[in-house]
Amino acid sequence: MNTGLQDAFNLAWKLDYVLEGFGTDGLLPSYTAERHRIAKNVIRLTNAMTRVMASSNGFVQALRDYAIPRLSDNAMLRKFFVATLTELRVNYAHSPIVEGPGRRALDEGIRSGDGERRLYDVIAGRYTLVYPASAPAAVAAAFEDFVLRYGGAVRAVSSDEAGAPFVRLVRPDAYLALEAALPGPDPTPVIERLARVLATHVRQGGGK
């Protein structure tokens, strides 16, 4: 079920971008590039677990019955298994529309035009550029100006929880398209990286 939900969400926001005129020809093919690998891994893991759990081999049964309770007692392993089975460990590191590990973004507190909220509450089907609330006014203005190029396909918000001076480009499905450190008072290098990532699949001045 988790795989199906993520498949649907991954495809839905991409179809929405294309229908709204935001997406380029490079957007929809990224669905297969991202989700095919995930599906293969799910099938491989499911087959392996089924073979172990349904095995009639006495040695495998004994090893299974001995190992499972002990592994379940280990908090770190238990957390790992839960994250794996729920697919919270999914990432899009090999995606053509992602730069970096492509992990799921944290649901950090952000500031937007309507006050302080959580990131997941404001994504609402659009790319969201998160920059530090502590950034100088000129830097914040540069990021706000940058998102205007995309005609509603990208929005900008600030965050007190960004910690070090990091900028995050969060996809509509809450995965990171890019995470970059601000090297200093000049945001130009980061803006150039943001533009390169978006150029693969989002139109400037897009929208109907």
What does the mean pLDDT of the chain come to? 84
Q: How confident is the model at residue 23 (pLDDT cuts 50, 70, 90)?
A: very high
d(CA 143, CA 138): 9
Taking each helix axis as running N to C, give the angle between helix 2-19 and helix 29-53, from 0 to 180 degrees, rounded to the nearest 10: 180
d(CA 140, CA 145): 9
Q: Which of 67-76, 116-125, 151-160 has the lowest mean pLDDT?
A: 67-76
Q: How confident is the model at residue 193 (pLDDT cuts 50, 70, 90)?
A: very high
Considering the segment(s) 109-199 as one domain, its CATH architecture is: 3-Layer(aba) Sandwich (3.40)
Ranges of each domain in the chain: 2-85, 109-199
Nearest to 169 by CA among 160, 179, 161: 179
d(CA 70, CA 78): 10
